[in-house]
């Protein structure tokens, strides 16, 4: 069974490779870009696992920018690929323009999100009537004097 699976896997990989070699080079460039983005996301996650996740917003913005641009590139690839019947009428310039626009918005938001001081204070404060999804069980230690000081200190 094991022998059969490994030969199967080898045959699979072989046929995958030969099928993939047939794709047009423009799509291969996009695939390279996606692979690079996912790879850098993985590096960042590994780094976070080693070093710790503070400040969390920076970690999130780094990882999400990689994942985000990878996903957008995959969407571009889908739209540009000649084999997809649904996107036959879409000119590839339009697809690329959409891709650039979305990436622009993505990175603008990332730049805002990279440095958010004082964010941890706001989490954990529940709000009933104003419809917040915060935690209801109040933790008093969020409001001891030290946090009040840092609250005043940061602005």
Partner 1 sequence: MAVTKTEPINSSSNKPSSSSVSMKSDLMSALSLKSLKLKTKQQELLIRVSILCLVYVLAFITRLFSVLRYESMIHEFDPYFNYRTTLFLTEKGFYEFWNWFDSESWYPLGRIIGGTLYPGLMVTAAIMYWGLRFLRFAVHIREVCVLTAPFFASNTTLVAYFFGKEIWDTGAGLVAAVLIAICPGYISRSVAGSYDNEGVAIFALLLTFYLFVKAVNTGSLAWGLGSALGYFYMVSAWGGYVFIINLIPLYVLVLLITGRYSMRLYVAYNSMYVLGMLLAMQIRFVGFQHVQSGEHMAAMGVFFLMQGFYFLGWVKHLLGDKKKFEALLRIIVTCAVGVGAIALGVGTASGYISPWTGRFYSLLDPTYAKDHIPIIASVSEHQPTAWSSFMFDFHILLFLFPAGLYFCFKRLSDATIFIVMYGLTSMYFAGVMVRLILVATPAVCLISAIAVSATIKNLTTLLRTKSKVSQTGSTKGASGGKGSSKALPDQSQPFQRNGAIALLFGAFYLLSRYAIHCTWVTSEAYSSPSIVLAARGAHGNRVIFDDYREAYYWLRQNTPADAKVMSWWDYGYQITAMGNRTVIVDNNTWNNTHIATVGRAMSSYEDEAYEIMRSLDVNYVLVVFGGVTGYSSDDINKFLWMVRIGGGVFPVIKEPDYLVNGEYRVDKGAAPKMLNCLMYKLSYYRFGELVTEYGKPPGYDRARGVEIGNKDIKLEHLEEAFTTSNWIVRIYKVKPPNNRW
Residues in the site for partner 1, rule: CB under 8 A? 5, 8-9, 11-12, 15-16, 19-20, 56-57, 60-61, 64, 67-68, 71-72, 74-76, 78-79, 84, 86-87, 90, 95, 98-99, 101-102, 105-106, 109-110, 112-113, 116, 118-119, 121-123, 125-136, 138, 140, 143, 148, 151-152, 155
**Residue with Cβ nearer partner 1 (40 or 106):** 106
**Could you tell me which of 84, 77, 96, 79 has the C-alpha nearest to residue 26?**
77
Q: Least distance (Å) from partner 1 to the CB of residue 146?
A: 14
Q: Least distance (Å) from partner 1 to the CB of residue 43?
A: 19
Q: Least distance (Å) from partner 1 to the CB of residue 148?
A: 8
Q: Least distance (Å) from partner 1 to the CB of residue 66?
A: 11
Distance (Å) of CA 149 to CA 54, 93, 94: 20, 54, 52
DSSP one-letter code for 141:
G
- CA–CA separation, 69 vs 62, rounded Å? 11
Count Cα neighbours of 80 within 13 Å in the Cβ-side half-sphere: 23
- CA–CA separation, 71 vs 106, rounded Å? 11
């Amino acid at each position: 069974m094991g022998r059969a699976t490994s030969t199967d896997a080898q045959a699979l990989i072989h046929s995958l490779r030969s099928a993939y070699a047939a794709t047009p080079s423009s799509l291969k460039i996009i695939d390279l870009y996606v692979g690079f983005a996912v790879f850098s996301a993985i590096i960042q996650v590994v780094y976070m696992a080693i070093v710790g996740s503070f400040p969390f917003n920076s970690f999130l913005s780094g990882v999400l920018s990689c994942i985000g641009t990878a996903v957008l590139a995959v969407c571009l690839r889908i739209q540009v690929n000649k084999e997809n019947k649904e996107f036959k009428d879409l000119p590839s310039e339009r697809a690329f323009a959409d891709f650039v626009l979305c990436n622009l918005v993505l990175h603008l938001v990332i730049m805002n999100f990279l440095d958010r001081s004082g964010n941890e204070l706001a989490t954990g404060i529940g709000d009933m009537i104003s419809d917040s999804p915060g935690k209801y069980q109040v933790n008093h230690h969020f409001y001891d004097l030290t946090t009040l000081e840092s609250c005043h200190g940061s602005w």
